[in-house]
Structure 1
């Protein structure tokens, strides 16, 4: 999995980073809450881990900002605070799970795996709605109230990703990484072709949903006003 680790201090060692790497996870690491938010909003991580000694305003703001953005990636909070009130604050602010230090390595990765399964289950089983369209991922179908059309598997995955990230601009690189994977020969032209086909199908449904190209940055879903 691709994991983002955000810490509230400069670590005395990189044991947690090494632990993730030793268990074959790709890791992005920062001790800045502000830069952590920037990395989180790229939407390229499967799980976001926030490692904190104590609950701070910055950490709570990070959690709330992640959720306010519409990002659905699971957030795992690790803290030395065992009091139930701290757990409630963290979970209510947007965390999906809470682990108290010290902890066993086995429990840490069991919870990471559980969050990964939860995310995959959400993406595979839920019908996604945006504007006047509904995407049925289980049968590769896109519909409005008046009509429906079949999608290819890649078209469905890309549109699903764009709907999930509807509040954000999605770059070609992120699409390639999330849809084709890290070890792929796919490039920007592949993305452009599939975006073209998806746009044609949205137009054939007479949908108000459009895929805007943000020059130099990527794509963003929008809804035509008329």
Structure 2
């Protein structure tokens, strides 16, 4: 999943970011409500996690603005405001779920997975397929030719990005941003190393290669014509 977290408490943010990244998800974090609204308007996410009490702009207003603009990404309110009226206000503003602090990470993850399974909210498929390669975003299983392939979380995310962009060139910079959340070039071979590992699992045991290097540009996942 690609997740946007709008939360101003540094400890809570670090806890969520670490947990979701360990699960193989990509998470962008902003601490200011105005910045969070701008990012949610400009980019597509599978799920949004939004605090109620934020600097810049309050969480309810963020959600109302997103819904008025037609943004349909599922939204989970994560807040210390746990009264019945608070929950009602959050859901009526356009939130899809409401989790009160303190919380357990396992419950947060379960709620995010449940929101991602609602296809009508975003209209996004939860199963990606290229040729005989299939990736399930909910169960996190990858199969090719009926054979299940075991991927590490970062390998799964890398494959997800390539499959979402099937037939298109994905640059190294794009992969660094979407898989590792690097908004700068760390001058390492991390992308090349993970592509090599992914090829060993996805391509080498099979007759047809799907991951192709586009020299001087990046990588593309597609079936050869």
* Bucket of the pairwise TM-score, normalised by the shorter protein: 0.5 to 0.7
The unaligned stretches of length 5 or more in structure 2 are 126-159, 171-225
Corresponding residue number in structure 1 for 2:30: 30
- In the alignment, does 2:42 pair up with 1:78? no
Q: Which residue of 1 aligns with 2:5?
A: 5
Partners in 2 of 1:23 and 1:72 — Cα distance?
A: 24
Cα distance change on mapping 1:56 and 1:95 into 2, 3 Å: farther
- CA shift, 1:109, in A, is 1.1
For 1:1-226, list aligned pairs within 5 A.
Answer: 1-7=1-7, 9-12=8-11, 14-52=14-52, 58-119=58-119, 123=123, 180-181=163-164, 186-187=168-169
Q: TM-score, normalised by structure 2?
A: 0.52
**CA deviation profile, 1:141-187 (whole Å, cap 9, x unmatched):** xxxxxxxxxxxxxxxxxxxxxxxxxxxxxxxxxxxx989526x5614
Q: CA deviation at 1:52?
A: 4.0
Structure 1: unaligned runs, 5 residues or longer: 126-176, 189-226
Query: TM-score normalised to the size of structure 1?
Result: 0.52
Alpha-carbon distance in 1 for matches of 2:167, 2:10: 37
> Taking structure 1 as reference, are residues 10 and 58 closer, same or farther at Cα in structure 2, changes over 3 Å only?
same
**Any conservation in 1 of the 2:72–2:121 contact (CA below 8 Å)?**
no
CA distance in 2 between counterparts of 1:178 and 1:61 reads 31
Quickly say closer, same or farther: Cα 1:10–1:83, change in 2 above 3 A: closer
Q: Is the 8 A contact 2:74 2:122 kept in 1?
A: no
Change (3 A) 1:53 1:89: same
Q: Partner residue of 2:153? A: none
For 1:6 and 1:20, locate their aligned partners in 2 and report how far apart those are by CA, in whole Å: 14
The 8 Å contact of residues 74 and 95 in structure 2, kept in 1 or not, is answered as yes
Deviations 1:81-117 (A, max 9, x none): 2210000111111110001112222211111111000
The number of aligned residues is 135
The CA RMSD measured in Å over matched residues stands at 3.0
